[in-house]
Structure 1
Amino acid sequence: MTKIGLLSDTHAYWDEKYLHYFEGCDEIWHAGDIGSMEVVDKLNAFRPLRAVYGNIDGQDIRKLFPERNRFVIDSAEVLIKHIGGYPGNYDSSIVGSILAKPPKLFISGHSHILKVKYDKTLDMLHINPGAAGLSGFHKVRTLVRFTIDNGSFKDLEVVELAG
């Protein structure tokens, strides 16, 4: 069983609440538009960090993290890409990979819109954790916590960050 803390679109904004809400997590995943090495360093110092770079990330972050991150954890195949769309409207840059070999979990960011949706056609869960930073049009900052248990996803929680 692995507990995951998931966020996206911090846009260089650091909030100590990230650490508070991810205290019980085994890993932190960032779905891109990290924005600064300070955010990378603080998250990585707290828990193991898996991430992808987003469209606003500079070369320092792009050297550390891939555009796509595909891996298996706790018997679940996961694919993370910043610009990815969602079930019924996948981005053209990722749709081929998803259709050819669907992961059990597809994570994207970019839209700043929290979305958790199951794709019945591909037997795949999609999560976009919304935006945890201040930059953008979103009204509420969000992050997500969930558990992976032998290939199954459970205990998903959405956290709204006030202020």
Structure 2
Amino acid sequence: MRLAIISDTHMPKGDRALPPACVRLLGEADLILHAGDLVRAEVLYELRAYGELLAVHGNVDDAEVRRELPAERVVELPGGVRIAMTHDAGPSQGRLQRMRLRFPDADALVFGHSHIPLHETDPASGFQLFNPGSPTERRRAPRHTMGIARVEGGRVAFEHVVLDTRDDAPDPGSTA
């Protein structure tokens, strides 16, 4: 199973749009995960046009998005893989252990909020934290990013994809 993972799209805002490589990866995925801050319900509808979507709401999402999406959820995938989702996983200090305790039955947590790509694994338990960054609003991150993951044999493997947002740039969808 192939997952496409995004967060913090913050749309609509001006002429902001998902980069072509992001749209391609969303369409190729078996499941799309969005870790909040879509902002408006029309973004939900756009993402659902690309494929099956599971999402949580973020701190800047409007009332309609908040009504439709939970603040957190646990997604059960083939092979017994369980991925927890929330928007804000709190301060970086102690985050891995804090989230492991908060979601004890999950194999991983997908979150957003900071716009900074992160992939961290607890060596003792194998529990993973994954923040895809943002495909549209990088803030302090050096590049626009998203995530992809493969679920096979009861395990999940995450990776970041660097997105080029220039209209005239080639569409490599390179992994980082």
TM-score under structure 1 length normalisation = 0.85
Distance 2:64 2:5 in 1: 21
1:134 is aligned with what amino acid? E
Gaps in structure 2 of 5+ consecutive residues: 166-176
Q: Indicate the structure (1 or 2) with the bigger Cα radius of gyration.
A: 2
Correspondence for 1:22: 26
Correspondence for 2:82: 77
Correspondence for 1:161: 163
Correspondence for 1:143: 146
1:34 paired with 2:33, answer no
Residues 76, 148 of structure 1: 8 Å contact kept? yes
Q: CA deviation at 1:73?
A: 0.8
Residues 35, 110 of structure 2: 8 Å contact kept? yes
Distance 1:91 1:122 in 2: 11
Count the aligned residue pairs: 159
Distance 2:97 2:43 in 1: 29
Distance 1:23 1:92 in 2: 34
Correspondence for 1:130: 133
Distance 2:46 2:98 in 1: 30
Q: CA deviation at 1:72?
A: 1.1
The more displaced of 102-111 and 2-11 is 102-111
Correspondence for 2:50: 46
CA RMSD of aligned residues (A): 2.4
Distance 1:55 1:72 in 2: 24
The more displaced of 107-116 and 10-19 is 10-19
The more displaced of 69-78 and 59-68 is 69-78
Q: CA deviation at 1:76?
A: 0.5
2:38 is aligned with what amino acid? I
Kindly tell me: are residues 149 and 91 of structure 1, through their superposed partners in 2, closer, same or farther at Cα, counting changes over 3 Å?
closer
Q: CA deviation at 1:129?
A: 0.4
TM-score under structure 2 length normalisation = 0.80
Distance 1:91 1:116 in 2: 10
Q: CA deviation at 1:80?
A: 0.4
The more displaced of 45-54 and 81-90 is 81-90
The more displaced of 33-42 and 79-88 is 79-88
Correspondence for 1:109: 112
Identity in percent? 24
The more displaced of 144-153 and 132-141 is 132-141
Residues 76, 82 of structure 2: 8 Å contact kept? yes
